[in-house]
Amino acid sequence: MPRLKVFKAHLGFYDSIVAVPSRKAALEAWGTRQDLFREGIASEADDSSAAKSALAAPGVVLTRPAGSTEPYRAKAVAPKAPAKVSRSRASGKPARTSRRG
């Protein structure tokens, strides 16, 4: 069995890790043909706790919300968007009312 390496990438709202034998296998696991390593988006992971999590589930992409210190999981919870604010409240002006006749 080939030696596994742990790779990390920042993908959208998530930081992700995966334990696979090569960079090519990591790109396949992330579902991309784009060379994320050349672009600086992906690299070999140096965090021992992340590596331990990834090596416990070889080939499985583990994620967590970007920038968080939460543990990596097989399926991260999407960050919640702030409540929608109407334009009238944001500008401080009263909302217009429509008149129907």
What would the pLDDT profile of 56-76 be if each residue is shown by its tens digit?
A: 999 999 999 999 999 999 875
pTM of the model: 0.71
Residue 60 in any domain: the answer is yes
Residue 44 in any domain: the answer is yes
Q: Provide the 3-class DSSP secondary structure of residue 26.
A: helix
User: In percent, how much of the chain has pLDDT > 70?
Assistant: 73
Number of folded domains in the chain? 1
Q: How far is CA 76 from CA 52, 63, 79, in A?
A: 17, 6, 9
User: In percent, how much of the chain has pLDDT > 90?
Assistant: 62
Report the alpha-carbon distance of residue 77 to residue 74 in Å, rounded: 10
- Domain boundaries, position 37: 5-65
Residue 95 in any domain: the answer is no
Alpha carbons within 13 A on the beta-carbon side of 58: 9
